């Protein structure tokens, strides 16, 4: 039989098998690597060698892996910030700005209120201040969304710019409380007190699991624990509490929420505040765990936006957010570490951002295949069809 045309259609899957999600996600990641590989090839880098080196420096090397965990810490929190909103179809694009405000608030706390406090209390106070700062920055978009139905996508995005310029003004544009007056030349923030700094994990001097460790300080700090606890807490809140139930119902169908007497307004405001607080914590973690001061350059590296990618890839599952954050964090670390690699592997740092983008696009595209499948059918040519149709009863119209 001659094939005249091939009929390709998308059909909805009746039931989504759990494994499909994993398969589609892995497939999307693979496709993203292929797309990235094409770019690498075009810019004259051997893709396979680059990827191998990237993986080695980011994951399969203790220094690299701890660097990755350090870089992932804020991503875990901004990822959770985006994920909690996604649970009720609330798109908080403002984790970026909320992170800045968290940084500003925690730096202030670290300079102004914690001196004299014992270590643990100082740390908690600084982190709490960060969460509060982030939540405050989310509060106004939350109110306008809840009461005037303004798009939170637009308002939170605008607030990112206000937050960014506010932060830059505090350090570079004025002699504010946050700026260190003693430093002349390039303006820098005032350092927070020692007690408020997040402790780092140090390699044990000898060995663990039979592997010898080189001693020394790593990039892994207590902020990671905040991230993991936040993931656990968020899961319990969403899946196991009355409030989380209301959030899920509202996300699924606002009409059902209204019918059940669930306060949609209340859910919007609380979810936005939680989201902002998580992003604020990310900012506080950077201030108290990495820079020890308000450092616009260290904070404004698109951690909030990448958090959205993390949440989307993790399909808003808090535990998956942790895993995906580590994966994407590794991309950043790997690209950074490869600056010291041989020339043909020295890739631009921007390649990490490009790969992030490719991963997101492939994952969002892949989402379609999680819920749908492709059916390909050969349609017989016209003359064929006529013969069949005019023949006996019950001949196949299409195979």
Judged by the rule CB under 8 A, the positions of this chain that interact with other proteins are 11, 14-15, 240-242, 245, 248-249, 252-253, 255-256, 258-261, 385-386, 389-390, 393-398
Q: How near is the Cβ of 246 to other proteins at its closest, in Å?
A: 9
* Burial of 155: CB neighbours in 10 Å, binned 0-12, 13-18, 19+: buried
**Cβ closest to other proteins, residue 42 vs residue 397:** 397
Sign of the four-CA dihedral 335, 339, 345, 347: positive
Closest CA to 318 of 68, 85, 157: 85
CB distance 281 to 221 below 8 Å: no
**Cβ closest to other proteins, residue 139 vs residue 245:** 245
Closest CA to 290 of 81, 1, 61, 69: 69
**Cβ closest to other proteins, residue 185 vs residue 399:** 399
The distance of Cα 326 from the centroid of its chain, to the nearest Å, equals: 10
d(Cα 159, Cα 291) in Å, to the nearest integer? 24
* Residue 3: other Cβ atoms inside 10 A: 12
d(Cα 363, Cα 146) in Å, to the nearest integer? 30
* Burial of 292: CB neighbours in 10 Å, binned 0-12, 13-18, 19+: buried
**Cβ closest to other proteins, residue 42 vs residue 392:** 392
Q: How near is the Cβ of 5 to other proteins at its closest, in Å?
A: 9
Q: How near is the Cβ of 385 to other proteins at its closest, in Å?
A: 6
**Cβ closest to other proteins, residue 205 vs residue 255:** 255
Closest CA to 273 of 137, 164, 155, 151: 137
**Cβ closest to other proteins, residue 11 vs residue 206:** 11
**Cβ closest to other proteins, residue 15 vs residue 184:** 15
d(Cα 77, Cα 74) in Å, to the nearest integer? 5
């Amino acid at each position: 039989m001659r094939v005249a045309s091939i009929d390709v259609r998308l059909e909805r899957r009746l039931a989504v098998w759990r494994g499909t999600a994993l398969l589609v996600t892995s497939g999307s990641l693979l496709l993203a690597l292929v797309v990235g590989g094409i770019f690498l090839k075009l810019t004259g880098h051997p893709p396979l060698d680059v990827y191998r080196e990237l993986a080695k420096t980011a994951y399969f090397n203790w220094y690299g892996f701890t660097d990755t965990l350090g870089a992932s810490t804020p991503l875990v929190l901004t990822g959770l910030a985006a994920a909690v909103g996604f649970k009720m179809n609330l798109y908080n694009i403002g984790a970026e700005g909320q992170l800045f405000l968290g940084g500003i608030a925690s730096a202030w706390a670290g300079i102004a209120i914690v001196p004299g406090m014992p270590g643990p209390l100082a740390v908690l106070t600084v982190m709490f201040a960060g969460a509060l700062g982030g939540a405050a920055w989310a509060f106004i978009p939350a109110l306008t969304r809840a009461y005037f139905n303004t798009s939170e996508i637009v308002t939170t995005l605008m607030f990112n710019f206000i937050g960014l310029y506010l932060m830059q003004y505090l350090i570079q544009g004025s002699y504010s409380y946050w700026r260190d007056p003693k430093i002349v030349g390039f303006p820098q923030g005032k350092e927070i007190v020692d007690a408020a700094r997040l402790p780092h994990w140090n390699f044990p001097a000898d060995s663990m699991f039979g592997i010898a460790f080189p001693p020394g300080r790593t990039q892994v700090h207590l902020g990671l624990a905040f991230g993991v606890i936040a993931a656990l807490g968020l899961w319990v809140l969403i899946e196991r509490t009355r409030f989380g139930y209301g959030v899920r119902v509202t996300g699924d169908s606002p009409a059902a929420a209204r019918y059940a007497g669930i306060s949609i307004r209340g859910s919007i405001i609380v979810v936005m505040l939680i989201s902002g607080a998580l992003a604020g914590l990310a900012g506080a973690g950077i201030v108290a765990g990495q820079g020890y001061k308000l450092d616009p350059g260290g904070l404004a590296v698109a951690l909030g936006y990448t958090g959205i990618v993390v949440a989307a890839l993790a399909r808003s599952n808090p535990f998956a957010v942790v895993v995906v954050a580590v994966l994407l964090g590794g991309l950043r670390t790997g690209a950074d570490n490869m600056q010291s690699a041989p020339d043909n592997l020295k890739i631009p740092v921007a390649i990490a951002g490009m790969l992030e983008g490719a991963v997101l696009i492939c994952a969002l595209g892949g989402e379609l295949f999680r819920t749908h499948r492709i059916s390909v059918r050969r349609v017989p040519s016209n003359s064929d069809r006529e013969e069949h149709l005019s023949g006996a009863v019950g001949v196949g119209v299409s195979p």
